[in-house]
Structure formats: structure tokens, C-alpha cells
């Protein structure tokens, strides 16, 4: 086994206008099999990916937003959402899906996966990463 | 490339590995039939996993990777079932891969 690297998937696009966000989610889920330190960031229109109550029935597209709830099962427990991007779109954390994970080091307590950070904090987190993938 | 499975006088589209192309084509009968093609007889223990996978897909819209399936089964059905040994006995070609096929789901996300 090699050293564990820090992987971050940065999601910048709205969920259904292009294939980017679905691909980003799938790659994150696939990558989770390799026991790396994985996190995801949601900036710009990417914050819409986490919005509650998505309804794709009239667009004929699959509503893949439900799959974000499985990220905890895949041990992807750090979802950073940029505060400025939320604010610019009139959203707060209350408008996002209440995603959680079970903390194995703390008696499997359910904890929130979404962490709202400002752009400066996010820049620091990005600077710590070994690998960045943009979607 | 298109592939298909013939069952009860109808053809059903699949991907090149035999996973049903349309979720709505699935029925317990076609599951039994697909399993027979692999020389596998589905018993109650198999159905427990298949039904679990279908419920998981319904809830999350993804077919879980084997590691995730094992953990989730352990939580729902107990540790004696949530382990690789038990699941591989049921589905020797890989619990997630093989059970998802009979469950009419796509190949698991995170399965390479």
C-alpha cells in the first residue's frame, strides 16, 4: 500500500445542465474504493447539486441527488460548501440536503457531512490537497 | 454493441455484461431465469440480498460497491450476514456484481 493521499473533487457546475456533476459524483464514489482521504468541494453553481427537493420528472433525467446521501456509506464524509457561493444564490445550509455520516471513531454517531466554509478557509483546504479533480 | 436476454418469448436489452438495460424490465421470474443461465438457483438467502439491493437503489439511485453492500447488510441483517464469506458463498462471482445483475440494477458504482 502506498501512502494515503488527499483527493479533492471540486464541483462547480449545476446538476443537470451538463454531465459534469454526475460524472464527478460517480468518480468520487469509484475513487472511494481506494482508501484515500477523499473530500468534495461545492462552489459556484456546484452548490445547487446539494439542494433539497430536486425534481427531474419533467426533464426526463434521472434524479441522482439521492445518491449524495450514500456518500457517507462510501466514507466520503467531508463535503465543503463555499459560503459566498451559497449567499450569491440566495441559499443557506437549510436549503441543502441534510447529509450525514456515521463516525466510526465515535460510536457510529450520525454527524453532518456538509461543512460551510468561506472562500479563504476553502483556499487553505485546497492548498493541503495532493490531488485536485475539477468537475 | 447491443446484447439481450430471451425470456418467455420476449427479448430484453442488456449491456454487454448481461445487466438489464431497463430497470422496468425486471421481474422476479426474469431474475430466476438469469440466475439459471449462470447455474445458480436462487433461494431465500439470495432473495434477501437481491431485495436489499433493490431497496438500496430505490433509496439512493445507485447500486452499491461490494464494500458498501457488505457494511450495509451487516447493519440491516446482522454481522453473520454482513461479511464477505457469507456473501461470496451466495454469489461466487462477486456479491455486488452478481446480485445486482439478478436484481435488474446496473453494474455497481465503484466496481471496476
Q: Complex ipTM, two decimals?
A: 0.81
User: Is pLDDT above 70 for A70?
Assistant: yes
CATH number at B3-102:
1.10.10.370
* Candidates B61, B71, B109; nearest CB to A62: B61
Residue ranges of the domains in chain B?
3-102
Classify residue A27: in a domain, yes or no.
Answer: yes
The CATH number of whichever domain residue A39 belongs to comes to 3.40.1260.10
Work out the average pLDDT over A104-108: 85
* Closest CA of chain A from B59, distance in Å: 7
Work out the average pLDDT over B33-55: 95
pLDDT in tens, B52-104: 999 999 999 999 988 889 999 999 999 899 999 999 999 999 888 999 999 99
Contact between B109 and A73 using a beta-carbon 8 Å cutoff? no
User: Is pLDDT above 80 for B44?
Assistant: yes
Find the catalytic residue in B35, B51, B111, B112. B111
User: Is pLDDT above 60 for A17?
Assistant: yes
Work out the average pLDDT over A106-134: 96
Tell me what pLDDT residue A30 has: 87
Highest mean pLDDT among A78-92, B17-31, B57-71: A78-92
Tell me what pLDDT residue B65 has: 87
Computed over every residue of chain B, the mean pLDDT equals 91
Distance CA B80, CA B63 (A): 22
Tell me what pLDDT residue A67 has: 95
* Candidates A30, A33, A70; nearest CB to B60: A70
Count up the domains in chain A and report the number.
1
Tell me what pLDDT residue B1 has: 55
Tell me what pLDDT residue A106 has: 87
Q: Show the domain range for A55.
A: 6-134
User: Is pLDDT above 90 for A95?
Assistant: yes
Q: Rounded to two decimals, what is the model's pTM?
A: 0.86
Amino acid at each position: 500500500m502506498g501512502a494515503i493521499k488527499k483527493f479533492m473533487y471540486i464541483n462547480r457546475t449545476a446538476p443537470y445542465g451538463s454531465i459534469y456533476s454526475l460524472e464527478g459524483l460517480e468518480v468520487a464514489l469509484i475513487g472511494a474504493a481506494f482508501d484515500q482521504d477523499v473530500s468534495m468541494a461545492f462552489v459556484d453553481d456546484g452548490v445547487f447539486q446539494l439542494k433539497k427537493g430536486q425534481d427531474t420528472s419533467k426533464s426526463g433525467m434521472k434524479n441522482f441527488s439521492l445518491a449524495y446521501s450514500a456518500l457517507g456509506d462510501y466514507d466520503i464524509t467531508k463535503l465543503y460548501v463555499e459560503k459566498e457561493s451559497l449567499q450569491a444564490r440566495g441559499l443557506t445550509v437549510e436549503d441543502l440536503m441534510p447529509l450525514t455520516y456515521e463516525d466510526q471513531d465515535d460510536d457510529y454517531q450520525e454527524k453532518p457531512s456538509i461543512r460551510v466554509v468561506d472562500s479563504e478557509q476553502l483556499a487553505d483546504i485546497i492548498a493541503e490537497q495532493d490531488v485536485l479533480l475539477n468537475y | 454493441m447491443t446484447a439481450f436476454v430471451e425470456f418467455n418469448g420476449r427479448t430484453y436489452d442488456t449491456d454487454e455484461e448481461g445487466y438489464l438495460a431497463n430497470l422496468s424490465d425486471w421481474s422476479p421470474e426474469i431474475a430466476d431465469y438469469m440466475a439459471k443461465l449462470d447455474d445458480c438457483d436462487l433461494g431465500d438467502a439470495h432473495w434477501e440480498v437481491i431485495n436489499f439491493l433493490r431497496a438500496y437503489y430505490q433509496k439512493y439511485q445507485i447500486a452499491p460497491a461490494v464494500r458498501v453492500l457488505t457494511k450495509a447488510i451487516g447493519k440491516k441483517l446482522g454481522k453473520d450476514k454482513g461479511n464477505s464469506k457469507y456473501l461470496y458463498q451466495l454469489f461466487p462471482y462477486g456479491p455486488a456484481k452478481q446480485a445486482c445483475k439478478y436484481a435488474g440494477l446496473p453494474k455497481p458504482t465503484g466496481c471496476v
